[in-house]
Amino acid sequence: MKDILQAKFMSEMCDTAANMYRLGWDERNGGNISYMLDGGEVAKYLDLERVVRTIPVMGVNKEDVDLSPLEGKIFLVTGTGKYFKNVKSDPETNLGIVRIGSGGEQVELLWGFKDGGRPTSEFPAHMMSHIARLGVDPENRVVMHSHPTYTLAMNFVHSLDEKSFTHSLWEMCTECIVVFPEGVGVLPWMLCGTSEIGRATAEKMKSFRLVVWAMHGIYGAGKTLDETFGLIETVEKAAQIYMLTAHLPRKNTIKDEDMLKLLQLFKVENYRKDFLDVK
Ligand code: 2HA
Ligand code: ZN
């Protein structure tokens, strides 16, 4: 068996968490990541027959949440109450590798959570989002939740209407409309860690890779950790520019006609046409 700490998926996960912490997006135990791994790849590092312990899926009403579509799938996931700050220096305590058990009601721990830990409190929202994204993109592997500062700040001063919120972000950086042409979904403030917010997030994930949890943070989904991180990073950059300029007189802007030119140049066809005011 190879040393799991040397696995590419492990170093990518550690580096991503470290970057998110460095950028101030994940204070204390804020944020969580789940990364679906290839079983064959994991088998190079772990005996898949050896279950360390079984952990019930917490915080959800069984009748509300059906994780059975993910049965047998393996995820590298951050732990509940764990700090992103500490992931890189101690992955075996702060991360776990879990397999969704039969019926989707419990997970089998294959590695990690060394101090008796469990997957993130947002595990149901993550898993429901994985199911939703896999339905529209079979290559989706990552769901990421974070508390990026300017995105959050913008939630307090900007309308939470999806079209208006997305349009303001698109206006702030030339490449925004190319990076997230489907826009950003927005949920009102809701209680986190519940089946309700999990279901609402997953519903949005059918049409968006980015979902703002108003006055809490953001969810991103993608094929890789880099893609998902890059989506959130781009929203955060746009929100930063918005917050640096919102109180100043606006002299210039990127117009809708300009955004259309960008979409043509980059041959992007699946954009939210109704979020633009030109056709
Ligand atoms: O895991 O960010 O939403 C801590 C959180 C909950
Ligand atoms: Zn959060």
Condensed to tens digits (0 to 9), the pLDDT of residues 151-164 reads: 999 999 999 999 99
Q: Is any atom of ligand 1 closer than 6 Å to the C-beta of 26? A: no
**Confidence check: pLDDT of 80 > 90:** yes
Mean pLDDT of 66-87: 97
Quote the ligand 2 centre to 195 CA distance (angstroms).
15
Mean pLDDT of 76-82: 98
| Distance of alpha carbon 5 from alpha carbon 46, whole angstroms | 11
CATH class as words, domain 1-121: alpha beta
- What is residue 24's predicted lDDT score, i.e. its pLDDT? 98
Catalytic residue among 71, 108, 122, 233: 122
Condensed to tens digits (0 to 9), the pLDDT of residues 83-109 reads: 999 999 999 999 999 999 999 999 999
| Distance of alpha carbon 183 from alpha carbon 232, whole angstroms | 12
- What is residue 125's predicted lDDT score, i.e. its pLDDT? 93
122 is catalytic: yes
- What is residue 60's predicted lDDT score, i.e. its pLDDT? 66
**Confidence check: pLDDT of 57 > 90:** no
Condensed to tens digits (0 to 9), the pLDDT of residues 154-200 reads: 999 999 999 999 999 999 999 999 999 999 999 999 999 888 999 99
Q: Which ligand is nearest to the CA of 212?
A: 2
Q: Is any atom of ligand 1 closer than 6 Å to the C-beta of 234? A: no
Q: Which residues contact 41 (CB under 8 A, 6 or more apart)?
A: 7, 9
Q: Whose CA is nearest to atom 3 of ligand 1?
A: 192
- What is residue 59's predicted lDDT score, i.e. its pLDDT? 62
- What is residue 186's predicted lDDT score, i.e. its pLDDT? 98
pLDDT classification of 41: cutoffs 50, 70, 90: very high
Q: Is any atom of ligand 1 closer than 6 Å to the C-beta of 30? A: yes
b/e 74-104 (16+ beta carbons within 10 angstroms → b): bbbbbbbebbbbbbbeebebbbbbbbbbeeb
**Confidence check: pLDDT of 148 > 90:** yes
Q: Which atom of ligand 1 is nearest to the CA of 29?
A: 4
Mean pLDDT of 113-121: 97
- The Cα-based distances of 138 to 104, 116, 183, 222 in angstroms read 19, 33, 20, 10
- What is residue 65's predicted lDDT score, i.e. its pLDDT? 84
Mean pLDDT of 102-128: 95
Q: Which ligand is nearest to the CA of 215?
A: 2
- The CATH number corresponding to 122-279 among 3.30.830.10, 3.40.50.300, 3.40.225.10, 3.10.580.10 equals 3.40.225.10
Residue 249: burial class (beta carbons within 10 Å; 0-12, 13-18, 19+): exposed
Domain boundaries, the chain: 1-121, 122-279
- What is residue 63's predicted lDDT score, i.e. its pLDDT? 73
